[in-house]
Amino acid sequence: MRRAGGAVQGLGALGMTLLCLTACVPVAPSPAPPTGISSPQSPDAGTFTAGADGVGDALYPRAGNGGIDVEHYDLQISYDPPPNPSTSLTGRLEGRAVLRIRATENLERFNLDLRELTAARVAIDGEVARFTQDEGELVIVAAAPMSAGETFEVQIDYAGDKTVSDAGPDGGFYPTADGGVSINEPHGAPEWFPSNDHPTDKASYRFAVSVPEGTAALSNGILLDDRTAGGRTTWVWDAPDPMSSYLALLAIGEFEIRRSSAPDGTPIIDAIGAGVDPESYSAMDLTGEMMAYFEDTFGEYPFVAYGQVVDNDRGTALETQTRSIFGNGTTTELTVAHELAHQWFGDWVSPGRWSDLWLNEGWALYAEWMWDEHHNGVPVQATVDRVLLTGADAPEWQGLTAAPERDDLFSWAVYQRGALSLHALRSLIGDDAFLALAREWLSRYGGSTATTEDFVALAEEISGRDLSVQFQEWVYEPGRPADW
């Protein structure tokens, strides 16, 4: 990631359900039942428990949920952009989410993350379920308890007005004059769909997004269809590769769609926002060459497609999986390389905890430096020397790379020091071991998540060296290492 300083139509059966969103009343909207609720169907009333309201991440304790593993999201969304953008950026989002979930514990109830939107109806395997909603948690109670290993389908109908002020520092869905855009990292996905919102729960996705005719809806993966009826167009996207919810994309607006292919045949679908200066995104013409270089260096591109969305409404670049998003002049050559590199580092291998984010950002920034050397002749060491001009007494060195505070998640310590840590490791173990480490990291943990401890262990395995002092100085302790 790079950061700078209506009637419902066209969704088939969803339309009838969404008409109910303002009239239907949740079943038994009473306070959540106390832990330990029993059921006559339960084989042993004492063995079924409530799923936790978070995975216990130190930085985002209530992100994600315990006791469940979402295997697939089928999201049917209808969105109307702000009707009077000159006076108010407020859009309307209505949706139905169908989640295929596997219980990982014996559950009497479980949670999903959902905020700034109101659930109207919940069903499990077609049976209406009780639920409550409070402080970003949707608590769902099944008619009968679910055993560990059991797979079930949950349907949630939900809706809400979306305003810019709803989305806070943790991300969310931001209305724009002609549509809206999601910036999910680190905890914004629940502002547009109910989710198990932690990187450790990856799933496949399908999106069907209904918008006014003439408006485009971009998402992850392959475009299956864009069909128009009754003044609305439904855009259908399939994202079959494992994906963390923070990497899901919804970008709606007036876009020009461009199609091409990478040298390896990977389809590339780009979307350029209305009024964007072509000169500002000319570096995207290098995407195919960049992909070939990263494949030669790190291994095969891991997903079914790639592409970029350029939208002038927000000054953020984000590595949304298979389709990075750029705003407000961020499509420079090195940022395009950075977000592409994230497809390997961050998207294919995602952080096991948010404190492990340096493994995303440090690697993407270092890959950016490597591309600069390969394509522009700027040696990585020269870039390192420039970054090291930050003196030892500078406050930036006091940040903890592998243990940032929540407010420092996107700090110099995570990005620049993260990349410097990788260069210091490369200098110590040599080029061959370093590149072997990168490839094995992606091979061993691809499609899943991993932690700093996993990376240290693998680096020691590949190099055959004890690297505890190296990593202690570079990623676990504050201060500039003495030898640098």
pLDDT at 69 exceeding the cut of 60: yes
The set of residues, in sequence order, having a beta carbon less than 8 Å from that of 292 and lying 6+ positions away, is 262, 263, 264
Return the pLDDT at 46: 54
CA distances from 341 to 284, 317, 346, 353 (A): 14, 13, 9, 20
Query: What's the pLDDT at 2?
Result: 62
pLDDT of residue 380: 98
**CATH of segment(s) 9-252:** 2.60.40.1730
CATH topology of domain 350-476: Neutral Protease; domain 2 (1.10.390)
Token look-up 């990075």 returns 324
Tell me the average pLDDT across 142-168.
92
At 24 the pLDDT is 37
What is the arithmetic mean of pLDDT over 82-109? Answer: 96
Measured between alpha carbons, how far is 459 from 147 in angstroms, rounded to an integer? 39
Is the pLDDT at 19 greater than 50, yes or no? Answer: no
Could you write out the three-class secondary structure of the chain? Answer: CEECCCCCCCCCHHHHHHCCCCCCCCCCCCCCCCCCCCCCCCCCHHHCEECCCCCCCCCCCCCCCCCEEEEEEEEEEEEECCCCCCCCCEEEEEEEEEEEEEECCCEEEEEEECCCCEEEEEEECCEECEEEEECCEEEEEEEEEECCCCEEEEEEEEEEEEEHHHCECCEEEEEECCEEEEECCCCCHHHCCCECCCCCCEEEEEEEEEEECCCEEECCCEEEEEEEECCEEEEEEEEEEEEEHHHCCCEEECEEEEEEECCCCCEEEEEEECCCCHHHHHHHHHHHHHHHHHHHHHCCCCCCCECEEECCCCCEEECCCCCEEECCCCCCHHHHHHHHHCCCECCCEEECCHHHCHHHHHHHHHHHHHHHHHHHCCCHHHHHHHHCCCCCCCHHHHCCCCCCCHHHCCCHHHHHHHHHHHHHHHHHHCHHHHHHHHHHHHHHHCCEEECHHHHHHHHHHHHCCCCHHHHHHHHHCCCCCCCC
Contacts 24+ apart (CB under 8 A), 81-84: 81/175, 81/176, 81/177, 81/178, 81/179, 81/180, 81/211, 81/212, 81/215, 81/252, 81/253, 82/175, 82/176, 82/177, 83/6
Instruction: Please give the average per-residue pLDDT across 189-209, as a whole number.
Output: 98
* Average pLDDT for 161-174: 85
Query: Which pLDDT belongs to residue 68?
Result: 98
Give me the pLDDT at residue 169, please. 81
Each residue of 33-61: pLDDT tens digit?
Answer: 333 323 333 345 458 999 999 999 999 99
What is the mean pLDDT of the segment spanning 373-388?
Answer: 98
Tell me the percentage of the chain whose pLDDT exceeds 70.
90
Better-scored residue on pLDDT, 15 or 128:
128
Return d(Cα 182, Cα 68) in angstroms, integer. Answer: 25
**Domains 254-343 and 350-476 equal at CATH topology level:** yes
Fold for the domain defined by 254-343: Neutral Protease; domain 2 (1.10.390)
Torsion of Cα atoms, 404 then 409 then 415 then 419, to 10°: 40
Taking only the tens place, the pLDDT of each residue in 278-296 is 999 999 999 999 999 999 9
pTM score: 0.90
What are 427-436's pLDDT values in tens digits? 999 999 999 9
Confidence tier at 314 by pLDDT (50, 70, 90): confident
Alpha-carbon distance of 441 to 345, in angstroms, equals: 9
Residues 6 or more apart whose CB falls under 8 angstroms from that of 306 comprise 262, 266, 267, 268, 269, 287, 291, 322, 323, 340, 343
Q: Across the chain, what does the average pLDDT equal?
A: 91
- Reported as a pLDDT band with limits 50, 70 and 90, residue 313 is confident
- Rounded to the nearest 10 degrees, how much is the dihedral formed by the CA atoms of 137, 141, 145, 149? -40
Residue with tokens 């700027």: 378
Domain boundaries, the chain: 9-252, 254-343, 350-476
pLDDT above 50 (res 450): yes
